[in-house]
Chains A and B, each alone.
Chain A
Amino acid sequence: MRDPILTREYLKRRSFIELSARDRAKCLFDSGTGLELAGPFDRIESPWLAMQDVTPEADDGCIVMRGTIGGQQAVVIAFAGAFQGGAIGEVSGAKLTAALDLARADNEKGIRTNAVLLLETGGVRLQEANLGLAAVAEIISSIIALRRHAPVISLTAGTVGCFGGMSLAAGVASYVVMTPEGRLGLNGPEVIEEESGVEEFDASDRSLIWSVFGGRQRYDQGLADALVDDDADQIAKTVRDLIAQGVPPVHRSEQIDLYRSRITALDNARQWNPEELHFRASQNKEENR
């Protein structure tokens, strides 16, 4: 029989995944401090979508919000997976880059400003192809410039996941936070099946997809720093804790030898069992030493 107390706890929790991008952003801030910038009333739409008979949105699927988190200045940039699969267009990409640059400028003036990226995105928006790809390159650069001063936290809760070029943006972040419903990878299952064949990756195999891309796997293999349940309060607390922790002594994407060494030993003649890549336990041991 199920423990009734657990059930009540479960029912009491507030789902983060079910929130809109705007509400997701808002719930991370200290109560009442989250203020949206360049919002829908500024009506900066994609100039390219209407030309292709695609209806643009007044916020281009990207929400920028400023306020305080745990008493510190912070900017949260959230992608709305519901619009164009959260894909990066010229406007949404420029919002993220400019917000990161403004946060960096504040840090350089001595005002510590942290950044949290809510990445629910399939990557580059193909209707804005080259400007989306260019935006991703600029986003990566701006994250790297900011993270020297203050942590840049990447959060992928689901259900869209973080794919394409934006997975590199998550890769250069100071901390990666995921829920078990989040997924993270460069090429999604359909793309691999399309490009390399169903023998390489069967995109209809749900358990394979989650075993490779899922938040639990990314955490167990040491590619995510925190795994949190789909609970808005828990997620907000995790973000607060990481901001309090500050800039890590070394960023994951600088640790080339460590991450490279984990794959050089594996037998390449066959596909790998995702469990072969579980390095979290040994990593924790090293960190505690």
Chain B
Amino acid sequence: MYVYADNAATTAMSQTAIDAMLPYFKDNFGNPSSLHSVGQAAREALDNARDKVAACLGCEAREIYFTSGGSEADNQAIISAARLGARKGKKHIISTAFEHHAVLHTLAKLEKEGFDVTYLDVRQGHNITAQQVKDAIREDTCLVTVMYANNEIGSILPIPQIGAVCREAGVLFHTDAVQAAGHLHIDVKEQNIDMLSLSGHKFHGPKGVGALYVRRGIALTNLIEGGAQERGKRAGTENIAGICGMAAALEEACAHLDENAAKVTALRDRLIEGLSKIPHCALNGDPVNRLPGNVSFCFEGIEGESLLLLLDMKGIAASSGSACTSGSLDPSHVLLAIGRVHDVAHGSLRLSLCEYNTEEEIDHILAVVPEVVQYLRNMSPVWRDLQTGKRQYIL
């Protein structure tokens, strides 16, 4: 048995998404900007896809801009809001300490340009409150950008409440909804969201395509100059197949959202309950307001990369926030932001589920993970020191 439990990294494409894409590789290969009938067929497909995505978010089709993915959407939303703010002398931005790097690195770039960024503390409950946002808003705040749900630890942020706070204060509100779209109910009008980013491959759509919702009246700054595609705001011939695949996948995910969430939540809760029995571990993320598919733990005395390699050998694809897997010397900034110290952040494991996972797969994970954790602890000098009292348990 091989269990794919890394759906927060990417998902398998659905047959619906594949079927929606195939015609646009060969038979219907036109460029939507062409006037002839081949081009116009592609134009129609593009328009239909935009309608579908808009319907899933509760906005108008003209408020949807297709991008190359979530990162581009995040970059463009934040840069645009910053340029609008700067024109009015407003150069303060509010975000959180556990955003995705697409947001954090864009904010770091703006800080170098003289913007002031407040990163809200996420240690309390591994989440933020709308009150924290309200308290951080200043006269010169031009943007609040907080993620809809965290990719590593699964916390769902109080987006409608934050939206209300921002609307009342007259501050633009962007949310990186890459982990939420297709999994949680989103209604940008009801939730007072001004800008929202999403990515196709997180809900069984294709990679390399995403979307940015921008409320009518907010002027976007172009990141890519060229032709007049996407209302002149994002140049480049449209990725028609990708866009159609993403739209079909999102439509399907939203149509089955409640049933999928119920099924995946039940699998998740079984997994959390079972893994919690491993001694000296801790659940990362908000235990209540949590993505249906997210399971994230820190296990004391072991290191995440060796855990992942062994799990892969034993038929489980998972992820970790250890330094060795992050490609840097530091463990995940998300785990550090919620207050996990380096020693335990190195021993993190994320299992992210989707509706394709089964009860049998959960049984397999529950049988393998405790065994592998114990195996690694048995060869760990840190674990020995903890057991013999030479080192104090943190978890």
- Binding partners A and B: no
